Amino acid sequence: MTLPKLYRKLELEEAQRSPDGAGGYTQTWVTLGTLWADMRPRTGNEKVGDLQSVSGASWRIIVRASPAGSASRPRPEQRFREGSRLFHILAVTEFDPTSHYLTCYAREEVVT
């Protein structure tokens, strides 16, 4: 097995909700930390609607492992940010038998 090359700097973000005073809430994204990653593209597709089209791509993002329950351990419903690009985390699993790395399956969508 070849070791991942962690050369891409990603921000790990988590959604936080706050009451808006009218019975609803506002959602903001808070940065939890910076992780270095190896990113590998998987598949892509495009959905065409009446007013816009959305192109999407699946990514396999490998990061150094953190203990379960740690704030720096990615989990589904969080996202990675690289500049203006957003990668929504769908699933997380161990990359290797020794659990030194994690594989995050993520989805990036771009409205065109």
Q: What is the pLDDT of residue 60?
A: 97
Q: CB–CB of 38/79 below 8 Å? A: no
pTM given for the model: 0.85
Structure tokens at 95: 């990359």
pLDDT of residue 102 exceeding 70 = yes
Taking 3-state DSSP, the helix, strand and coil percentages for the chain, each rounded to the nearest 5, stand at 0, 65, 35
Strand partners, 26: 18
Class of 8-15+29-111 in CATH: mainly beta
Q: What is the pLDDT of residue 112?
A: 67
Tell me the average pLDDT across 18-43: 91
Domain positions in the chain: 8-15+29-111
Which among 26, 15, 16 has a CA at the least distance from the CA of 88? 15
pLDDT of residue 1 exceeding 80 = no
